Structure 1
Amino acid sequence: MRAALFQANTGTDPLLGARALVEAVERAAGDGADMLFTPEISGLLDRDRTRAAAAIVAEADDVALAATREAAARHGIWVHIGSLALRSDRDGAPFVNRGFVIDDAGAIRARYDKMHLFDVDLPDGGSWRESTAYHAGETARAVDTPWGRLGLSICYDMRFPDLYRGLSDAGATILSVPAAFTVPTGRAHWHVLLRARAIEAGAFVIAAAQTGRHADGRETYGHSLVVDPWGEVLLDMGDAPGFATCEIDPARVEEVRARIPALRHRRPVGPVEVAG
Structure 2
Amino acid sequence: MGVFRAAAVQMRSGMSPERNAKDMEALVREAAGQGATYVQTPEMTGAMVREKDAREKLFVSEDRDVVVATARRLAADLGIFLHIGSTAIRRADGKIANRALLFSPKGETLASYDKIHMFDVDLDHGESWRESAAYEPGTQAVTAAVHGATLGFAICYDLRFPQLFRAEALAGAQVLSVPAAFTRQTGEAHWHVLLRARAIENGAFVVAAAQGGQHEDGRETFGHSLIVDPWGRILAEAGHDRPGVIVAEIDPAQSAAARAKIPNLKNAREFTLADGAGRIIERAEA
TM range (shorter): over 0.9
Tell me the residue number matched to 1:96: 97
Distance of 1:236 and 1:82 partners within structure 2: 17
The match for 2:120 is 119
Q: Unpaired segments of 5 or more residues in structure 1?
A: none
Distance in 1, matches of 2:239 and 2:127, equals 23
Aligned-pair distance for 1:29?
Answer: 2.0
Question: Hey, what does 1:252 align to over in structure 2?
Answer: 254
Q: Which amino acid aligns with 1:32?
A: G
**Deviations, residues 208-266 of structure 1 (Å, cap 9, x unaligned):** 00000001110000010011111111111022221121112221111111111111101
Which structure 2 residue ranges, 5 or more long, are not aligned?
278-286
The residue that corresponds to 1:178 in the other structure is: 179
> What TM-score, normalized by structure 2, do the two folds share?
0.93
Amino acid at match of 2:46: G
Q: Is the 8 Å Cα contact of residues 223 and 238 (structure 2) preserved in structure 1?
A: yes
2:280 match: none
Q: Which amino acid aligns with 1:139?
A: Q
Deviations 1:71-90 (A, max 9, x none): 11011111110000111233
One-letter identity of the residue aligned with 1:85 = A
Alpha-carbon distance, 1:166 to partner: 0.4
Q: Counterpart of 1:100 in structure 2: which amino acid? A: L
Overall identity of the aligned pairs, in %: 49
Q: Where do residues 259-274 of structure 1 align in structure 2 (5 Å cutoff)?
A: 259-269=261-271, 271-274=272-275
Looking at structure 2, the residues matched to 242 and 130 of structure 1 have their Cα atoms a distance apart, in angstroms, of 27
The secondary structure found in structure 2 opposite 1:86 is: strand
How many residues were matched structurally? Answer: 273
Please report how far the alpha carbon of residue 147 of structure 1 lies from its aligned counterpart in structure 2 after TM superposition: 4.3
Deviation at 1:272, TM superposition (A): 1.3
TM-score (norm 1): 0.96
Q: Secondary structure at the match of 1:112?
A: strand
**CA distance in 1: counterparts of 2:177 and 2:125, whole angstroms:** 28
Q: Choose from 66, 70, 75 the match for 1:72.
A: 75
SS in 1 for 2:188: helix
Assess if the C-alpha contact under 8 Å between 2:27 and 2:244 holds in 1.
no
Please report how far the alpha carbon of residue 146 of structure 1 lies from its aligned counterpart in structure 2 after TM superposition. Answer: 1.1
Alignment partners' CA distance in 1, 2:52 and 2:210: 21
For the pair 1:30 / 2:30, whether they are aligned, the reply is no
Q: 4+ runs of 1 displaced by more than 3 Å?
A: none
After superposition, residues 90-169 of structure 1 pair within 5 angstroms as 90=93, 94-169=95-170
Conserved? CA contact 2:225–2:246, under 8 Å? no
In the TM superposition, 1:182-197 aligns within 5 A as: 182-197=183-198
2:245 equivalent to 1:243: yes
